[in-house]
Amino acid sequence: MIRQHPEAFDNPQAHTSRVNDGFLDIYHQWFIDAMVQRGYCAWWDSEEVQVKKENRFSEHYKIFLSDGHVRRVDGGAYRSTCWPAAF
C-alpha cells in the first residue's frame, strides 16, 4: 500500500508509517483489493485482516496498529492461522 499510495502515509520511508487522516477508512479496502487480485479471499473484521486461498485454513493479520500506524512486512507482524478456515 505504501508504494501504491504514498500520499496516504505521513512518512512512506519509515518502518511504521502513520496513515494520514482521510485515508483511514479506505486503507483496509486497498489491502483487501490487493489480496483479491492475488487470488485470495480476504475480509477485514475491524481488528484483523483474514485471508485464505482455500477452505482448509485462514490466516489472520493485524496490519493496523491502534494509533494509526501500519507495519511493513518483515516477519514482525502478529499472525495466527486457523484450521479449518475461520470464514
Convert the pLDDT of each residue in 14-70 to its tens digit: 877 888 988 877 988 998 999 999 999 998 888 888 899 888 888 887 776 666 667
DSSP assignment letter at 3 = T
**In angstroms, rounded to a whole number, what is the distance separating the alpha carbons of residues 60 and 15?**
21
pLDDT attached to residue 65: 61
pLDDT attached to residue 8: 92
Give the H or E element holding residue 42. Answer: strand 41-44
* pTM metric for this prediction: 0.70
**In angstroms, rounded to a whole number, what is the distance separating the alpha carbons of residues 32 and 50?**
9
pLDDT attached to residue 7: 94
pLDDT attached to residue 66: 60
Listed residue (83, 80, 5, 17) closest to 49, CA to CA: 80
pLDDT attached to residue 83: 65
